[in-house]
A and B are shown apart, each in its own frame.
Chain A
Amino acid sequence: DIVMTQGALPNPVPSGESASITCQSSKSLLHSNDKTYLNWYLQRPGQSPQLLIYWLSTRASGVSDRFSGSGSGTDFTLKISSVEAEDVGVYYCQQFLEYPTFGGGTKLELK
């Protein structure tokens, strides 16, 4: 199985500041079709997860452009610019190069 490892945030994050969440995979997620099979989800308190970004950097429908995904191979970053109250929750990365596995989650708290 591909193991996904997420970093922690220096919480709380001041409102209006940017935040970067890191994710590392145990195997390169770059497919032979040149796409990177990496998603990001947000689970707000008391809610179900929602898809934010797929294929490394493509925002899902309706997702704010304050969210951006980047990285390559085995190292990835989700950047949230100008953090707002609605961004609070736990962020998960997920690979889908093989059967899906998720990172352990990174909690974002607002100051």
Chain B
Amino acid sequence: GAVVSQHPSRVICKSGTSVKIECRSLDFQATTMFWYRQFPKKSLMLMATSNEGSKATYEQGVEKDKFLINHASLTLSTLTVTSAHPEDSSFYICSARAQGRTPSSLRTDTQYFGPGTRLTVL
């Protein structure tokens, strides 16, 4: 079964509004989570590394004030797209790195991916 969940799976919003996407690790703790963005027929682009209890590390070219990341607990990271524009429409995927105590079915230090969130900004 799924080990990482994302919510919502699909969201449509108006330009100028903010959208929050949640990423949860199920049955394991993840001090580190990752947020990716994927354009059609393109590879996944790492946006930022989310660290529990500290600030996220953003990749070059990613606006930290536009893509707010909060990793408030060992199982939850959120990505908020602020003042969304049509060009922010994309497929956002999170992953969680299994660390520390993990179920035997999981491999430590491996990233497990969520099912993705399709964001459409009108």
- A and B co-occur in one complex: no
Contacts from A to B (Cβ < 8 Å): none
